[in-house]
A and B are shown apart, each in its own frame.
Chain A
Amino acid sequence: MADLLDKRREDREDVEIPTASMADIAFLLLIFFLVTTTINVDTGIGMTLPPKLENQDPPPVKDRNMFKVLVNSQGDVLIEGERASMNQIRDRVKEHVLNFGEDPDLAVSPSDAVISIKTDAQTPYRIYIDTLDEVWMAYREIWNSIARSGTLPGPNGEQILQKTFPDYQAYRSTLGPEDDNVIRDNFGANISIAEPDLGE
C-alpha cells in the first residue's frame, strides 16, 4: 500500500500544464468576443433647433394650422386648450395633419401644419420626451403608410416612390448618407418647441 502511494507521488511530479491546446482556447475566445461585442450606437430623437432671430418676430402661423400641446409638470395634457391624455396626442396629430382643408379648425395642408409643444419650467424631461415621442410617432405612422403605398396621402395622392416598403424604417435603411429622403422631403414634420413658462 505504501509503495503504491509513493509511486503516485512520483508520477505527479512529472505533470505539466498541457500547452498544446492554448492556441485553440485563445482562438475560441477571440471568436467569442468578436461575436458578442457590440459597439453601442447612439439612438435618440433628432431635432433641429430654430436659428437665432435678431430682433425679428417668428413667422406668423395661422391659428387653424397650429396644433397646440401643453404639458404641465404633473404630465397633464392640454390639446388646443382642452384636457386630454398623453395617448390621445398621436391620433389627434394625425387627424390635424391629414385634414386637407376639410375641417375649418384643422390644418389647411400637411405642409402648413405646425405642432407646437409647450411645457412648464418644472416639467420633467421624461414627460417632455414622451410628448415629443407621441408627436413623432404620429408622423412616423403617416410615413409608414407612405412607404407601404408609395403614394402621398390625400385626395390627389401623388406617386413618389418607385418601390414599396414594409415600413418607413425599411425605406430609411436603403438610403445612403448622401441620398435624399423622398418621404421626408415631400411630407416634412413641423414641430415647434415653445420656451417653457416660468411657473413662479
Chain B
Amino acid sequence: MSAMEYAKELDLRNLPCPMPVVKISKGIKEVAVGQIVKAVTTDPGALTDFPAWAKTSGNQIVETQEASGEVRFFIKRLK
C-alpha cells in the first residue's frame, strides 16, 4: 500500500453509528480545501456510510484501505 500524504488524522475506532460521520463532518472543516484527512474506523457500516456522506457533503474519498478489522479512509476536502 502506498503511503498517502494527509493533513490530519482522525481516530474513530470503537465509535458506532452515527459518531464516525458526525466526527468526520467536523474534522474535514479543520483542513484547507484540497487537503486530505485520514479517518480510521472500526464501524463496519462506515464502508457504505462514508461514501454516502462524501457524496452529499461534496467531499471526495480518494482511497479506502481495509486491514485487520479497520477501515481507513483518505478524504479530500473539496469545498
- A and B from one complex: no
* Contacts from B to A (Cβ < 8 Å): none
* Contacts from A to B (Cβ < 8 Å): none
